[in-house]
Homo-oligomer: A and B are copies of this chain.
């Protein structure tokens, strides 16, 4: 077991260093290249994925009382995969039974096994890319990155942070208190690291691995068995993950059932039963605020959430109008606004802005954005590659009803591939309207404001009230940027300023960007800070007088 830890120790050490410096670092290449992943990796990924379709997914030794599975690719075909299913009580009992074995294993044994699992998952990134593509509806390039290496980065980040916490203070000490002229008091002390209990990860439909790995790896590293409850439309990426973890655990002498899959059927979800079981002590949840509220009200567990929010762009001026429009066009189109980091509201001074191309009126800014989106999506294949598909049919209804909320600046269209919708831009007037709530999907509201300061105040205000994970600002005035920085910091939202070129407000890089601040209603936890891992275990001491 410790062999795995020794083998992967350099990887862990590099991750620990990156956590401190917050500079660019990743061990998991994001480019789906056969030069990097091996000549056969692409073909193997495709053929392995194809072989899974229409078949029973094998999870050796996993509790099984039936089979579920109704995944349909937003790109078209049904997956036809069935997964082992079991009643909540069965899963919790199995998890409970695995608890002592996981808790009693050394930090090094658990950490080594989890590092090995991440390395194996990385080798499977093409397969994970296909699995992610056909459950989330992302285009392949994005699915490869977000479902594979970027998720692995986030898992490693959480694992390293947990390891850092577990080893932060001595596990054994000799406490020697002087007693003046008398012999000192000498006490030996040992601290056991006691996990909190069963951890439940409630996966989301859009980024099952990326949003799931931090909690899964943090809980396992700190000794808590994990029940992975995937979204019923996005089981496969997490089922593959659970299989790898169980395989590595078995090889490492750790209890396989420390990682369980709680697959369920749409309309017959078992999340509530799992979340309210008193043996469940930790819940990692990504999803709606309404269900997060329900969990908080009904579960005794400590809950870590990412919830709804209203992300914003505030445009007050730019020295690169074309670059700004191109950058925002990509941010608005990417995965059709179905990222938790996608901008929704775009605040623009009613009187327009100054740019390198001269003054631009509100309508000219809107037209610039529209033209940039149209240009980006002019080729259907490229449009599908950027927009992917719409994962939830309800999103199409939201797009349809949003059309009536104001003046249509750019209408939503289709890419021609799968269930798709390109960005809808709506200009809205006044304080009230749908721009004051999350409108998940490819809908953006252009909001005219009485000048730059009001635009910033409104963007920061909605982040504070409704939550936000990202905010973008375009400004040519340094003093304005400074004031905005303070406003957005007080609203607890990460701010990206004057992004052009190949870096987007949607992007959140592991080891550098803390994803979600925990400081506004968009989530109470941050990936991955100390507060995300430290409460997952407790230290319990035994002390005794040192033998003379």
Residues of A near any B CB (own CB < 8 A): 19-24, 165, 168-170, 173-179, 185, 187, 189, 191-192, 194, 196, 481, 485, 488-490, 492-503, 509, 512-514, 517-519, 526, 529-531, 534-535, 538-545
Contact check, B189 vs A22: say whether CB atoms are below 8 A apart: yes
| 11 more A-B residue pairs beyond the given contacts A177-B509, A192-B485, with a C-beta to C-beta distance below 8 A | A165-B530, A185-B503, A485-B542, A493-B540, A497-B544, A498-B544, A500-B545, A514-B539, A517-B540, A529-B534, A530-B534
A-B pairs with the 9 shortest C-beta distances?
A: A519-B538, A497-B544, A531-B534, A22-B173, A530-B534, A192-B489, A494-B541, A489-B540, A495-B542
Q: List 15 A-B contacts (CB under 8 A).
A: A20-B170, A22-B191, A179-B502, A194-B492, A489-B540, A492-B540, A495-B541, A497-B544, A500-B545, A501-B545, A513-B541, A517-B538, A517-B540, A526-B539, A530-B534
Residue of B nearest to A170 (CB): B22
Q: Give, as a whole number of angstroms, the nearest-CB distance from A224 to chain B.
A: 12
Pick the contact of A540: B173, B488, B500 (CB < 8 A). Answer: B488
Pick the contact of A530: B168, B185, B497 (CB < 8 A). Answer: B168
CA distance A177 to B23 in the complex (A): 9
CA distance A91 to B252 in the complex (A): 57
Given contacts A21-B173, A22-B175, contact A512 B542 (CB under 8 A): no
Residue of B nearest to A31 (CB): B180
Given contacts A19-B169, A23-B173, A177-B24, contact A194 B497 (CB under 8 A): no
CA distance A172 to B302 in the complex (A): 31
CA distance A490 to B509 in the complex (A): 37
Contact check, A498 vs B545: say whether CB atoms are below 8 A apart: yes
Which of A174, A499, A529, A531 has most B Cβ within 10 Å? Answer: A531
CA distance A189 to B22 in the complex (A): 9
Residue of B nearest to A23 (CB): B173
For A493, list chain B residues within 8 Å (CB). Answer: 540
Which of A165, A485, A489, A492 has most B Cβ within 10 Å? Answer: A489
For A509, list chain B residues within 8 Å (CB). Answer: 175, 177
Residue of B nearest to A502 (CB): B185
Q: Give, as a whole number of angstroms, the nearest-CB distance from A412 to chain B.
A: 30
Contact check, B185 vs A512: say whether CB atoms are below 8 A apart: no
For A501, list chain B residues within 8 Å (CB). Answer: 185, 545
Contact check, B24 vs A540: say whether CB atoms are below 8 A apart: no
Given contacts A497-B542, A535-B531, contact A503 B192 (CB under 8 A): no
CA distance A265 to B78 in the complex (A): 69
Contact check, B517 vs A194: say whether CB atoms are below 8 A apart: yes
For A490, list chain B residues within 8 Å (CB). Answer: 194
For A530, list chain B residues within 8 Å (CB). Answer: 165, 168, 530, 534
Contact check, A169 vs B20: say whether CB atoms are below 8 A apart: yes
CA distance A535 to B513 in the complex (A): 18
Contact check, A20 vs B168: say whether CB atoms are below 8 A apart: yes
For A531, list chain B residues within 8 Å (CB). Answer: 531, 534-535
CA distance A485 to B192 in the complex (A): 9
Pick the contact of A494: B179, B489, B542 (CB < 8 A). Answer: B542
Contact check, B21 vs A170: say whether CB atoms are below 8 A apart: yes
Q: Give, as a whole number of angstroms, the nearest-CB distance from A185 to chain B.
A: 5
Residue of B nearest to A21 (CB): B170
CA distance A105 to B538 in the complex (A): 32
Contact check, B512 vs A539: say whether CB atoms are below 8 A apart: no
CA distance A297 to B71 in the complex (A): 40
Given contacts A187-B503, A194-B492, contact A517 B542 (CB under 8 A): no
Q: Give, as a whole number of angstroms, the nearest-CB distance from A443 to chain B.
A: 26
Contact check, B512 vs A540: say whether CB atoms are below 8 A apart: no
Q: Give, as a whole number of angstroms, the nearest-CB distance from A200 to chain B.
A: 19
Which of A173, A494, A540 has most B Cβ within 10 Å? Answer: A540
